[in-house]
Amino acid sequence: MPLYDYRCETCETIFEARHAFDAPAPLCPVCASASVQRQITTAPAQLKGMMANAGSSRSASKEDLKSKWSEETPKLRDQLVSKLGEDTVRKNAPSLFSE
Ligand SMILES: [Zn+2]
């Protein structure tokens, strides 16, 4: 279930609540007010964090990425061949056949 940030309009407390996206808004944990507003700032912040992590792990292990790619290439090639036929794939992506 997704985690939401809420701000209480009564006492200004900012709190997190985890619930289904179509569930009613929770009550404020401090003053039990139902006047809470869902904050929409969480997702971009999380996304930024994820991208920062992805960037650092990518630069840390180029070799890992290379071996990963050589693992993935035959799978990708098989998928393309079964979809498009071997002749088409050889013509358009000859690098997939050099091993
Ligand atoms: Zn409150």
Nearest 5°: CA angle at 49, between 23 and 72?
Answer: 100
- Mean pLDDT, all residues of the chain: 82
Residue 36 has pLDDT above 60, yes or no: yes
**CA 60 to ligand 1 centroid distance, Å:** 45
Any domain includes 18 = yes
How many A from CA of 27 to the centre of ligand 1? 8
> Would residue 38 count as lying in a domain?
yes
Residue 11 counted as domain residue: yes
User: Scanning the structure block, which residue is given the tokens 């944990």?
Assistant: 29
Domains held by the chain: number? 2
Tell me, yes or no, whether 56 lies in a domain: no
Residue 44 — pLDDT band, cuts 50, 70, 90? low
Q: What is the domain range of residue 22?
A: 3-45
* pLDDT score of 31 more than 90: yes
**Model-level pTM?**
0.41
pLDDT at 96: 82
For ligand 1, the distance from its centroid to the CA atom of residue 10, given in whole angstroms, is: 5
* Residue 64 pLDDT exceeds 90: no
